[in-house]
Amino acid sequence: MTRQTMTYGDYLSLEQLLSAQHPQSDHHDEMLFILIHQVSELWMKLALHELHAAQQAIMADHLPESLKMLARIKVIQKQLIEAWSTLGTMTPSEYVGFRDQLGSSSGFQSAQYRELEFKLGNKNPYMLHMHERTPEVHARLKEAFETPGVYDTVLMLLDRRGFQVKDALREDFTQPYEAHESVLEAWKQVYTHPEKHWDLYNLAEKLIDLEDAFQQWRFKHLRTVMRIIGEKPGTGGTSGIGYLKKALDYQFFPELWQVRTLL
């Protein structure tokens, strides 16, 4: 195939893409369920693409590029949030019609979602172990689990800029991040004098945008699950609503939320 003979379908691999839906029942609404989750995985792939690049840009002190990428992720997140509204058009009766066909499969098992959480700082070893049966996926998640997350990279940037945050810089990145007073003080300086630290101020707000949208996504997920299955356990073995409620309590960038109280 050459550029002269390439068609729209060729370029986008539409034959493979549009033939990747395989309902396990004859129920009309199973196609909706499959497509929403497939589309969400595509959006997460793009979010990870942008997040990896943004982190590299921050490490290289190229903040303008990172700000553009983080802003794009926020728009991607809007698409992910709205996907739940589309899935919410399915009633409990319609979902029950094919739910048994899902077996033990669950969005809880999404490797891309887990990679996003790892990159944002929510490190849970159990979530890594559950992918051991797929070596390639496990290797990618293990790298995200063991290497600096986005916020670690930002803290390193603060250190390079002269802020006294060395006590918050970690050698072991396999644990969830915990707030530090020194980091809170650094962000207080940034927010008190935004004109002096304009790029860091903008970076902080982009991180807040990212976490805020992520929490909206989690909340919309929770409400959609409540609307469709109520208090039933999840298909992947989770407690369903209980697990989703607990996830809402976790903060990726705690000092960026705490600093608002101090200003």
Residue 161 marked as a ligand binder: no
From 160, 170, 168, 205, select the one nearest 185 (Cα to Cα).
168
pLDDT digit string, tens, across residues 18-61: 999 999 999 999 999 999 999 999 999 999 999 999 999 999 99
Residue 260 marked as a ligand binder: no
Whether 50 contacts 69, CB under 8 Å: yes
Spell out the per-residue pLDDT of the chain, length 263, in tens.
778 899 999 999 999 999 999 999 999 999 999 999 999 999 999 999 999 999 999 999 999 999 999 999 999 999 999 999 999 999 999 999 999 999 888 888 899 999 999 999 999 888 888 898 999 999 999 999 999 999 999 999 999 999 999 999 999 999 888 999 999 999 999 999 999 999 999 999 999 999 999 999 999 999 999 999 887 776 666 667 777 888 888 899 999 999 999 99
Residue 11 marked as a ligand binder: no
- 260: helix, coil or strand? helix
pLDDT at residue 255, rounded to an integer:
98
From 251, 206, 222, select the one nearest 74 (Cα to Cα).
206
Whether 43 contacts 79, CB under 8 Å: yes
Residue 95 marked as a ligand binder: yes
Q: What is the pTM of this model?
A: 0.93
CATH architecture of 37-86+109-261: Up-down Bundle (1.20)
